[in-house]
Amino acid sequence: MPKSSILGSSVVPLRFVFFMWLCFFLEYNYHWNISQYGIQPRTLKGLIGIFLGPLAHGDFYHLVSNTVPLVFLGATIFYFYDRIAKVVFFRAYFWTNALVWLFARPANHIGASGVVYGLAFFLMFFGIFRRDFISILISVVTILLYGSIFYGVLPGNPNISWEAHLGGALVGITSAFTFSAKKRVS
C-alpha cells in the first residue's frame, strides 16, 4: 500500500509544472524566446532541447493541456509506485526527448506531451504486465481517462509532435515492462 500522502506525491510533478509555467510567463511577459530551445532533431543546438523543450509551450491552451495530466499522472505514479517513480519520471522526460532528437522529422519540437504520454502509457501497461489488483485497477482508470491518446501516436496535424507522443508511449511501455517484475514498487 502507498506510504506517502497525495500532497507529498504531487511534489515532483508540481515542480515540473511550476517550471513550465515560469518559462511560459518569461516568454510571454518578458519576450524571452525559450521556444527556440526546443528539440531540433540531429542538430547540436537541438541537444539543449532534450532538457528545455518540454518546458516551452506554444500557447496557453498547450500549457494547460499538459499541466493537468502531468499533475494527475505524475502524482498517481509517485503515490502508488513511490520506489520506482523517480526513475519512471526521469525516463519519461529524458529518454522520450532523446528519441525525438534522434528520430523525429526536422522541426522545433516543444511541449511536455511526450512526458505525458510516457507517464500515461506506463500506468496503462504496468497493470497489464504486473497483474496485481491495484495496478490493474490503475491501468483501467488511466485507460478510461486517457485512452484516446492512442490516436496521438499517429501522424496527423503537422503542428503536433506525434514523434514525441510515440517516443513517450514506447518509453512508458518499456518502463512498465522493465519494472513489472520488481518485487516492491511502493
Question: 154-177 pLDDT, tens per residue?
Answer: 998 999 999 999 999 999 999 999
- Local confidence band at 10 (pLDDT 50, 70, 90 cut-offs): very high
DSSP assigned state of 147: G
Instruction: Give helix 11-29 / helix 60-80 axis angle, nearest 10°.
Output: 170
Give the three cell numbers for residue 82: 513511490
> Using CA atoms, how far apart are residues 44 and 152, in angstroms rounded to an integer?
28
* pLDDT tens, residue by residue, 17-59: 999 999 999 999 999 999 999 999 999 999 999 999 999 999 9
Residue 180 scores a pLDDT above 80: yes
The residues, ordered by sequence, that sit 6+ positions from 60 with a Cβ below 8 Å of its Cβ are 24
Q: Are 109 and 100 in contact (CB under 8 A)?
A: yes
Separation CA 93–CA 89 (nearest Å): 6
Compute the chain's Rg from CA coordinates: 16
State the pLDDT at residue 2: 58
How many beta carbons lie within 10 A of that of residue 106, not counting itself? 10
Q: Are 103 and 165 in contact (CB under 8 A)?
A: no
Tell me the per-residue pLDDT of 97-124, one tens digit each, with 9 for 90 and over: 999 999 999 999 999 999 999 999 999 9
**pLDDT over 80 at 80, yes or no:** yes
What integer pLDDT is reported at residue 3 of this predicted model?
A: 58
- With contact defined as beta carbons under 8 Å apart, do 99 and 162 qualify? no
Residue 1, pLDDT > 70, answer no
4 pLDDT more than 80: no
Q: What is the pLDDT of residues 133-158, one digit of tens each?
A: 999 999 999 999 999 999 999 998 99
Helices marked H in 1-132: 6-9, 11-29, 49-52, 60-80, 85-103, 113-130
Let me know if domain 6-180 sits in CATH 3.20.20.450.
no
What's phi and psi for 5, nearest 5 deg? -90, 165
Average pLDDT, stretch 48-71? 97
Confidence of residue 186 (pLDDT cuts 50, 70, 90): confident
The domain spans of the chain are: 6-180
Of residues 140 and 5, which shows the higher confidence score?
Answer: 140
End-to-end CA distance of the chain: 7
How many Å separate Cα 9 from the centre of its chain?
A: 16
pLDDT of residue 167: 98
| pLDDT, position 18 | 98
